[in-house]
Amino acid sequence: MKYSTYQSIFPMNLENLQETRKEGRARFMQFISNTLLLKLLIIVIVAWIAGAGVLTVFAAPSASKEEMTKLTVQPGDTLWQIATNHKPERMDTRVYIEGIVRINDLEDRGVQAGQILKLPNF
């Protein structure tokens, strides 16, 4: 019988085998680190864009004093009535009410007769 063992059929150089394994591990680690770096970069970009959007949404209206009209609340007036009478034609009433609440620092949405409100001009 010419070949009696597995090693005799496939003679291998152990040094080459170890180097091949090391190269494979190095490539795998490089792939993992590149993939991880790419995922981290994507997460940072998404978080940055989302943060900028949140800051823009919650930014206070930048109306100067000359852009505001003052109004004295009459008996029976509500914020809804005031907003519907003074808001721009195509603006949502809820958005205008939120503007009134913000520029007047109202803690609740109720108003009292004689109260002076600043109305934003959009």
What integer pLDDT is reported at residue 16 of this predicted model?
65
CA distances from 17 to 27, 51, 99 (A): 15, 51, 73
pLDDT tens string, the chain, 122 residues long: the values are 565 555 555 555 666 666 777 888 888 888 888 888 888 899 999 888 888 777 766 665 555 555 678 999 999 999 999 999 999 999 999 999 999 999 999 988 889 999 999 999 87
C-alpha distances out from residue 57 to 12, 50, 97, 107, 109, Å = 67, 11, 16, 20, 21
Q: Which of 78, 79, 85, 83 is nearest to 93 (CA)?
A: 83
Per the DSSP assignment, residues forming a β-bridge with 48 are none
